[in-house]
Structure 1
Amino acid sequence: MPWLTIILLIFLFWFLIILYVSKKKYRIIRPYGPALMISTTRGKDYIEKWGKKSFWSKYGLFSIVLTLIFMVLTMALLFWEAILVIGLPKSLAPSPLAAIGLPGINPFIPITYGIVAIIVAVVLHELSHGLQSANNDINIKSMGILLFIVPIGAFVEPDEEKLTKSKRKIRMKVFSAGPSTNIVVSFVFLVLFILMVSLVSSPSNGALVTYSGNQSIKTGDLLLSIDGINVTSSSINYINIDPGKLVPLNLIRDSSIKQIYSISGLWVNNVLQGSPAYSAGIKDGEVLISINNILIRNYSYFNSFMENTTAGENIFLHFIFNGKDLYYNVTLIDKYKFYENYYPNYNSPSYKGKGFLGVSMAYMNSTFSDPKGIISMLSNPFSGGILQGFIFIITLPFIGLSPFPSYFQSVYLTPFSPILFWPIANIFYWIFWINLMLGLTNALPLLPLDGGYVLKDMISGLLERYKVMKNESIANGVSIALSLLVLFLILWQFIYPRIF
């Protein structure tokens, strides 16, 4: 039976359960949108007991400060992203699915690790609300779990009436406890993740294949030599082997040394629409031999040649494909004008007057990385700066490094069984990632999220301190306005590139 049919049947069966439960009106189980909420009073005595400790009062004040700090940082991030999408081509517009933090829907969140991380994040989030409520003498009515086919989280339900009537400072402590705990937990697991990766040993030489469009070469191969020449990821850009030759490659694949053969040279892997290469009919998979009868042995040769061309210049290209020679006469266009029309965000004044072909190529149609460099960046991500480090760590799923590729098991040495090591490292990473995303999202000044209530109470309290009339009405108005601004900034990222 096809997987799609199985998934549809599972969802159909689940919604039948939802309909059945909604009609029966059980006391401890009830529908909550597409999920089921199973509630109980068991365990609330423990939360109320733990919540009475003096630590939680101090933690509540810390939570308010931390939530407000990350509220400002997250708003700054939204403004920055809103600016970045201006001029972004429709083809590079972010998918709306990427904004949904659910495994199986968001294409970047792995199902297994994602579900585990969401359960951890939501349980800690709700537990923090409960402990802070208990610390401030707000009764806990019930607690329980949320099911959507599988457990997706938990909840702690405080006495809403008593919470509403509490002092602003108490409400701010309760609301900020959830996002601040997620943020703290994310940093704890980030440290654990970095410490684990720092225990990994990388191979002493070779070039790690991180992408391959070449049938002979596989992603995860550790390339040791080409035609008898030892290589690294950087030396491949300068390798001095005539293009178009069938050459031997020595590499490590699945922990074994192998020898394979491939055609040397730069392989076309992308031709930009609207470019001279596209108009000439150059296609993916063709191997560049020469330009103007000058052999192009590596990318350094090609880049050096193109840097010395001008717009309007005619060049003569020789390619091979499946053993056949292909020749093209091409007139280069202005690189600056092309980028201004198609990729304005990536344009540069230095491109003016430069010749542009519009073809992307890679040596043997593969991408190579330094195996030591990958582990070095993962174990010391902030060496180049805190902001750059965080951007790198957060974007690991988008560059194919989380979950870790399966070939890591054969390329890198771990302090204990790689079958256990890499899944544990993955779990640590995704607990960090999901907690951070949940914490940042809930810290936003967006009602009805926690951050929206925290800011509303803070504004109301400040206005009251300065004896401003109708402080509650003004605080409500400002909170609603900020909520609309946040929604606009989020939607802007997905709508603008598709319309303008």
Structure 2
Amino acid sequence: MFGLLTWVLLGIILYTAVAMGLSARGYLPSAVSVTGPLTTIHTKRGRAALNRIAQRKRFWRAWGNLGVGIALVVMAIAGLAVVLSVPAVFAQPDGAGTLDSPENALVIPGVNDFLPLSAAPAIVFGLLVGLVVHEGGHGLLCRVEDIEIESMGVALFTIIPVGAFVEPDADDQQAADRGAQTRMFAAGITNNFAICAISALLLVPLAASVAVVPGAPVGTAIDGSGAAAAGIEHGDVITEIDGTPVENASELEAELDRNAAATVEVDRRNADSVTVNRRLLILEHAEGVADDIVDVDPLTQVTAVNGTTVNTEPGFAAVVENRAVATLETTRGNATIPVGAYIAEVTAGSALAEAGLPTDGTSVTITRIDGTRTANASAYESVLDSREPGTELRVEAYVGGERRVVNATVDGDGSFGVPETVLAKGYSGFVFDDFGADPYPAEQFLSFLDGSNAAAFPTVTSVLVYFANLLVLPFATLLDPSVSYNFAGFNGEMTAFFVIEGPLSALGGLVFTAINLLFWTWWVNFNLALFNCIPAFPLDGGHILRTSSESVVSRLPVPNRRLIVTLFTSIVTIGMVFAVLVMVFGPALLV
């Protein structure tokens, strides 16, 4: 069947056909113009208000000059970032993730993978604020510089507002000096950044009134797990395991590691207690290790090891503690493997290589170091962390199914020279889950939102770190593989993970709504400003590039100055457009 993106494209085509047909037959008002899927609505209202606001010309020119400085710096950074993205995409097209896929280039909640429909009202609010202040800035500086305004209006992509515009009088704009033109083009960017600053100043104290509720928040229950079978789901908060309180996800994990019981009683906040029959599922595995027994639909369950029934990871660890080689009985068959720290390949020149282990790409499983059992990667690292550099240790390993014993010396880094990229997590590359409740990173997201994780930095740096945190929250899964969720505001069931404290508690859910509006207003305005700083026509950055180029070229003793400026700005614009197209479509075309 058709996917959501296909339906959206069909809707765009249908809208375009209907709108252009109505326009061609004269059924639309004269103020409405249709060009393909783009619709513009023009008005002359608001010019009198701009004239009144523009009376303090000295102040607004100073504001405009500040904006020009900011715009030039950000424009250089934005242009460089866009250019550098091109070789990065060609070098590693599959490393771009899904952020650059075509549907994610559309800021449409529900179509964009990172913008859920639940966040649509706040996103639209932020977009409207951004468009009004951006184009209002252009209009205001037009009047400050005595440039008449023909009309103002809003641009729609079908029914979605994607821009606003101010149409200055062409003759007045041409007659204005370069400084006036530059201030006018930079005004929208400046206003968007100002809205970001105001939003952040309001957002921090509001977010500081939010706290994470006691317990372990559940992001989702893993399919096929004991938690899912017991009815645990997204939005639940686990407060006790077999009568032992848990305050957060870390305490839940610690309690499950300690408790080897096959069945546990689970208490939930504002929900009934449930009994969970634990199942040992394989979440991840190292390629090349018992591939035949691993799959994801459904996840493979380990039922026994060496004939002993296992339901939990502590139970698994107990069975393999004194057995270097184990037979795993699973729902997809059996496999006999050495159980230890799995190393995909030994690096040439490393301590293990010098000890005689092969460097031809053959995998190595280390089962014991200096007499200590290393059943998994954590145990391997723990043993090495406790030894001094230069210490020679007896290493028991399996190479190609054969047991080897070598002596290796701990290097200066306190390791055997094995990069993290080749040391697999877990037991021989197997990562297990015996409960099935994937934790939601509520504390981490709240620290990003209220700025507490940026407070340790110097003032200016902390502001930059805070802004970076807000910028990446909707894309958290791309930047941190250990995070399974993105943050799109306090929406739906996830509000159960948080509580309002202090004087604002009386407002209840209104605080969450206000935070959502401020967060997305900041996010949309920041991205509007960045996008408009790209030095390419018809964006503001392209106009600023032109006026700046004219200012520089006018001082050079060369003929055909206008031609030089035109060629330069055209080449930069073409380059920027090409780079953006590579960013959006390159990963899909090159993989």
TM bin, normalised by shorter chain, reads: 0.7 to 0.9
Which residue of 2 is the match for residue 432 of structure 1? 522
Residue 488 to residue 244, structure 1, CA distance change in 2 (3 Å): farther
Residue 135 to residue 353, structure 1, CA distance change in 2 (3 Å): closer
1:448-480, Cα deviation, whole Å (9 max, x unpaired): 211011012112212222434433322322222
Aligned: 1:258 with 2:272: yes
**How far did residue 498 of structure 1 move?**
4.3
Which residue of 1 is the match for residue 574 of structure 2? 484
1:187-246, Cα deviation, whole Å (9 max, x unpaired): 32133222211111332x321112322422212211112223333312344334565712
1:295-346, Cα deviation, whole Å (9 max, x unpaired): 79559997xx99xx9xxx9653344x6xxx9632247975359xxx9xxxxx
Residue 138 to residue 336, structure 1, CA distance change in 2 (3 Å): farther
**How far did residue 142 of structure 1 move?**
1.2
Of 124, 139, 147, the residue aligned with 1:138 is: 147
Aligned residue type for 2:435: M
Residue 450 to residue 242, structure 1, CA distance change in 2 (3 Å): same
Residue 299 to residue 139, structure 1, CA distance change in 2 (3 Å): farther
Residue 388 to residue 135, structure 1, CA distance change in 2 (3 Å): closer
Which residue of 2 is the match for residue 235 of structure 1? 251
Aligned: 1:50 with 2:27: no
Contact preservation (8 Å) 2:217, 2:237? yes
Which residue of 1 is the match for residue 25 of structure 2? 23
Of 129, 135, 145, the residue aligned with 1:120 is: 129
Of 70, 73, 78, the residue aligned with 2:77 is: 73
> Which deviates the most, 274-283 or 453-462?
274-283
Tell me the SS of whatever aligns to 1:407: helix
Residue 400 to residue 145, structure 1, CA distance change in 2 (3 Å): same
Residue 6 to residue 246, structure 1, CA distance change in 2 (3 Å): same
Instruction: Find the aligned partners of 1:271 and 1:226 in 2 and give their Cα distance.
Output: 28
Residue 370 to residue 142, structure 1, CA distance change in 2 (3 Å): closer
Of 469, 474, 481, the residue aligned with 1:392 is: 469
Which residue of 2 is the match for residue 442 of structure 1? 532
**Total equivalences in the alignment:** 475
Aligned pairs for 1:3-402 (under 5 A) are 12=14, 15-24=17-26, 26-54=29-57, 55-78=59-82, 81-82=85-86, 85=89, 86-87=91-92, 89=94, 92-93=97-98, 94-109=100-115, 110-147=119-156, 148-149=158-159, 153-203=163-213, 205-213=214-222, 214-215=227-228, 216-231=231-246, 232-238=248-254, 239-241=256-258, 245-252=262-269, 256-264=270-278, 266-269=280-283, 275-283=288-296, 284-288=298-302, 297-298=312-313, 315-319=326-330, 327-330=334-337, 334-335=343-344, 349-352=419-422, 359-369=430-440, 371-380=442-451, 381-383=453-455, 386=462, 388-398=465-475, 399-402=485-488
Tell me the SS of whatever aligns to 1:349: coil
Aligned residue type for 2:549: I
Contact preservation (8 Å) 1:445, 1:482? yes
Contact preservation (8 Å) 1:299, 1:362? no
Please give the root-mean-square deviation of Cα atoms over the aligned residues, in Å. 3.8
User: Could you state the TM-score of these two structures normalised by the residue count of structure 2?
Assistant: 0.70
Aligned residue type for 2:173: L
Contact preservation (8 Å) 1:288, 1:318? yes
Which residue of 2 is the match for residue 472 of structure 1? 562
Instruction: Find the aligned partners of 1:41 and 1:84 in 2 and give their Cα distance.
Output: 46
Instruction: Find the aligned partners of 1:41 and 1:91 in 2 and give their Cα distance.
Output: 44
1:106-128, Cα deviation, whole Å (9 max, x unpaired): 33334322222222211111111
Residue 496 to residue 427, structure 1, CA distance change in 2 (3 Å): same
Residue 132 to residue 329, structure 1, CA distance change in 2 (3 Å): same
Contact preservation (8 Å) 2:138, 2:185? yes
**How far did residue 439 of structure 1 move?**
0.8
Instruction: Find the aligned partners of 2:88 and 2:311 in 1 and give their Cα distance.
Output: 36
Instruction: Find the aligned partners of 2:279 and 2:7 in 1 and give their Cα distance.
Output: 46
Contact preservation (8 Å) 1:455, 1:479? yes
**Structure 2: 5+ residue runs without aligned partners?**
347-360, 362-417, 476-484
Instruction: Find the aligned partners of 2:456 and 2:102 in 1 and give their Cα distance.
Output: 31
Residue 478 to residue 105, structure 1, CA distance change in 2 (3 Å): farther
Instruction: Find the aligned partners of 2:102 and 2:125 in 1 and give their Cα distance.
Output: 23
Instruction: Find the aligned partners of 2:165 and 2:447 in 1 and give their Cα distance.
Output: 40
Identity %: 21
Tell me the SS of whatever aligns to 1:249: strand
